[in-house]
Structures are given as structure tokens and as C-alpha cells.
Amino acid sequence: MMFTLHKPQMTKLKNFLSTYKTKIIGATIEAIIIVSLNHLLPPAINEATAQIVSLAIMLTH
């Protein structure tokens, strides 16, 4: 079964994918930062940082 995408649909799809890709990359970078901080910081600061980062993630997504 073949179907064709019209120009507006194609543009929407591309926009969706690029937005999604940016979010995946952003989330990956955030995860790497959190893991790195886990090794460097004492647990109390670490917990506060995790709270701040998770809040930032919620606000930006």
C-alpha cells in the first residue's frame, strides 16, 4: 500500500522529527551531566542538584 505525503505534511513531519531529536539529545546530555555530578558531589548537594535539574526538565519539555 503506497501513500504520498503532500508538502505541508512533509514539513510537519520534518519539524516534528527535528524537535523530537533535539529533546532526545538534550535529555541525553542532561543524563550525562547528572551521572558526572553523582561522582563529584556529596549526596546532599547531589540531591538538590537532581531536584533542580528535574524541575528544569519539566519546565522545558
Query: Three cell numbers at 5?
Result: 505525503
Amino acid at 3: F
* pLDDT (0 to 100) of residue 4: 64
Query: What is the predicted pLDDT for the residue at 50?
Result: 79
Cell of 48: 538538590
pLDDT of residue 3: 61
How large is the average pLDDT for residues 28-42?
A: 79
Does residue 59 have a pLDDT over 80?
Answer: yes
The predicted structure's pLDDT at residue 5: 59
Name the residue with higher pLDDT: 33 or 44: 33
Per the prediction, the chain carries an average pLDDT of 78
